[in-house]
Amino acid sequence: MPLLRRCEWPLIVYFLYTAALSLVLHLRPPIPAITIGLNLVVIAGFLLLARAHSLRDRHFLGVFRDWYPVPLMLLAYREMGWFADPRHTVWLERSWEAWDKVLLNHWGLRAAIEFLGPLLPSLLELSYALVYTIPSFALAMLYVYRRRERVPDFLLQFLLGILIAYTLFPCFPSEPPRTAFPLQDLPSFLTPFRRLNLWLLSGYGIHTSVFPSAHVSGAFSGAFAMLRLMREHRWVGWFLLGLAASIALATVYGRYHYAADAVAGFAVSLLASALSRRIRGGPASRSPVAAASG
């Protein structure tokens, strides 16, 4: 067995999980065969890369291993979309939507966001779109500041943040508020960035679940990881933390997620931080929130 990085195991375990799930859920053909075949190819890619890198310690092989997981994050998301249950009710969404109405309407969150017109709504929608760039941005910063040896550490925490959320999706079948309750509590401004997000989700969104929010869990997991790994250049982690907060707010305001999803996503990011610390075998004395404030 070639030596695998710790950050490669979460994806391997996840793709084994989805392969098994494709059989358990009794999906229509050829989804199980495609899922299993594709996942075996992905896992074989990890093993072949690890083997080649152990035999010939070439720089480009190490770099390729750094970036190999990045496109697989999208595949992990898309695969979960294949498991959507067509017999869907909205009983979960009704309770979540009731809380959102209090937050957006009675507590005035939407009015506060729209107080200056389309400015803040545009910034929030832009933040939501930028969630897809977080892993590439973080890896690029580690390269720029010559901290490439920390890439596996970042990937471990970030991948745990999104994959734990994806793994929970089948347990909470749900639709986003913008489709479960169309024309209710929508933003007042249809900004260009909102048009972009709606276009992306119309073609690439899934209908398995929105709970917990992987946007939120991934954004905060990336921010917490970079706050820890880039203490010499704290602006990177603080920038990502501000972006994560904007993304969490955008998910609720834009009706991409319920507030319950965002809260659960943040909880997943804390769990990912604790698990990554446990896997690394490091001290457990500081939480990511304490690291951000310290």
Same domain, 73 and 112: no
The torsion angle over the Cα atoms of residues 123, 218, 96 and 290, rounded to 10 degrees, is -90
Same domain, 59 and 94: no
Residues in the chain: 294
Residues 143 and 245 in one domain: yes
Do both 94 and 59 map to the same domain? no
Q: Per-residue pLDDT tens for 234-287?
A: 999 999 999 999 999 999 999 999 999 999 999 999 999 999 999 988 544 444
Judge if 2 and 48 occupy the same domain: yes
Domain boundary (83, 114, 135) is at 83
Final residue before a domain boundary, out of 60, 83, 106: 83
Query: Which tens digit of pLDDT belongs to each residue from 155-211?
Result: 999 999 999 999 999 999 999 999 999 989 999 999 999 999 999 998 888 889 999
- Its pTM stands at 0.92
Asked if 122 and 185 sit in the same domain, the reply is yes
| Count of structural domains within the chain | 2
Residues 102 and 200 in one domain: yes
The pLDDT score that the predictor gives to residue 284 is: 42
Are both 64 and 140 inside the same structural domain?
no
Same domain, 209 and 63: no
Tens of pLDDT, residue by residue over 22-31, are 998 888 889 9
Asked if residue 236 and residue 160 are part of one domain, the reply reads yes
Q: Which of 52, 83, 114 is the last residue of a domain?
A: 83
Same domain (yes/no): 39, 132: no
Identify the domain containing residue 72 by its residue range: 1-83
pLDDT at position 57 is 80
Alpha helices in the chain (DSSP H): 9-24, 31-55, 59-67, 69-81, 91-101, 109-113, 119-130, 134-144, 151-168, 177-180, 192-204, 214-229, 234-253, 259-280, 288-293
Both 13 and 154 in one domain: the answer is: no
Residue 5: the pLDDT is 94
Classify residue 106 by its DSSP letter. Answer: I
The pLDDT, as a whole number, for residue 83 is: 87
